[in-house]
């Protein structure tokens, strides 16, 4: 197994998070590709772990923290580390050291780029990126927002701990309609999936439901809202991780619509 930089021939599978077999990934649309095209020349780094046959089993993506959902200076931020763990498609690559090798390669790379440290998000629940996994790899908590821990590993003594950028505003409801607001960065297909399900449900439920998209890959929009990915039905946020099913999103909007 080795860790390599993302090359043009891997871009398609990277944009599908190595899950070309998954209908859900397709449902998430092309947002990740759009996000990638925008960020590839803005400091985004992507590495893949490939096995002895050259098959990619895992990936890590990180960028300067100044472009991430956290505030900090001179650090890099891991948006996502992912080792394919399903039987389908290319199969299960977990527990073979790919995750550890990817994180270690990202740390070496960030150091070589002059970064003062690496930060990452981790959750305290047993899904997605677990904070405990980073703790095991020498990271400690710099901040917390709900179940989202902000972990970091400083490389130098002058490194300052990062902090979450916090939500700054909420959408407002409007008389005579249901407003569904989707904030979307595009880098995570799981988030894009929720966004696209909400868009579809809003369209199906007719003209009294309005879907509004806020593209937070625009830094000014992200800073205005203080959130990168979220779904609101009028002023109420719908928890988007793990991704709610289409019927649940549609049901929530339909209930609001009935009350108009």
Ligand X SMILES: CC(C)(COP(=O)(O)OP(=O)(O)OC[C@H]1O[C@@H](n2cnc3c(N)ncnc32)[C@H](O)[C@@H]1OP(=O)(O)O)[C@@H](O)C(=O)NCCC(=O)NCCS
Q: Which residues bind ligand X (CB under 6 A)?
A: 58, 80-83, 94-100, 128-129, 133, 136, 188
Contact 49, 1 (CB under 8 A): yes
- Residue 106: closest CA among 38, 151, 49, 161: 49
Nearer to ligand X, 193 or 233 (CB): 193
Q: What's the closest the beta carbon of residue 43 comes to ligand X, in angstroms?
A: 19
What is the nearest approach in angstroms of ligand X to the Cβ of residue 105? Answer: 12
Least Å from the CB of residue 95 to ligand X: 3
171 φψ region: left (φ > 0), alpha (ψ -120 to 50), beta (else) = beta
CA–CA separation, 19 vs 113, rounded Å? 30
Shortest distance in whole angstroms from residue 96 CB to ligand X: 5
Helix (H, G, I), strand (E, B) or coil at 125: coil
CB-nearer residue toward ligand X: 43 or 97: 97
What is the rounded CA–CA span in Å between residue 34 and residue 104?
A: 28
Nearer to ligand X by Cβ, of 98 and 110: the residue is 98
Which residue is it, tokens 């089993």? 57
Nearer to ligand X, 122 or 182 (CB): 122
């Amino acid at each position: 197994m080795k860790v390599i930089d993302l090359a043009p021939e891997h871009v398609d599978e990277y944009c599908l998070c190595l899950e070309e077999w998954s209908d859900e990934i397709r449902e998430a649309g092309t947002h990740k590709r759009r996000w990638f095209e925008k960020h590839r020349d803005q400091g985004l780094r992507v590495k893949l772990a490939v096995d002895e046959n050259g098959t990619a089993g895992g990936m890590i993506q990180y960028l300067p923290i100044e472009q991430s959902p956290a505030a900090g200076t001179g650090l890099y931020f891991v948006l996502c580390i992912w080792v394919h763990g399903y039987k389908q498609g290319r199969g299960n690559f977990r527990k073979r050291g790919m995750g550890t090798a990817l994180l270690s390669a990202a740390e070496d790379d960030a150091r070589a780029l002059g970064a003062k440290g690496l930060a990452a998000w981790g959750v305290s629940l047993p899904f997605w990126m677990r904070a405990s996994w980073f703790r095991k790899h020498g990271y400690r908590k710099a901040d917390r927002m709900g179940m989202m821990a902000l972990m970091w590993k400083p490389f130098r003594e002058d490194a300052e701990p990062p902090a979450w950028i916090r939500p700054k505003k909420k959408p407002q409801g409007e008389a005579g309609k249901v407003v569904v607001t989707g904030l979307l960065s595009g880098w995570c297909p799981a988030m894009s999936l929720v966004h696209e399900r909400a868009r579809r449900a809003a369209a199906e439920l007719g003209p009294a439901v309005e879907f509004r998209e806020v593209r937070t890959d625009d830094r000014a929009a992200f800073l205005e809202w203080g959130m990168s990915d979220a779904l609101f039905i009028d002023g109420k946020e719908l928890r988007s991780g793990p991704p709610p099913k289409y019927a649940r999103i549609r049901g929530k909007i339909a209930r609001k619509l009935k009350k108009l």
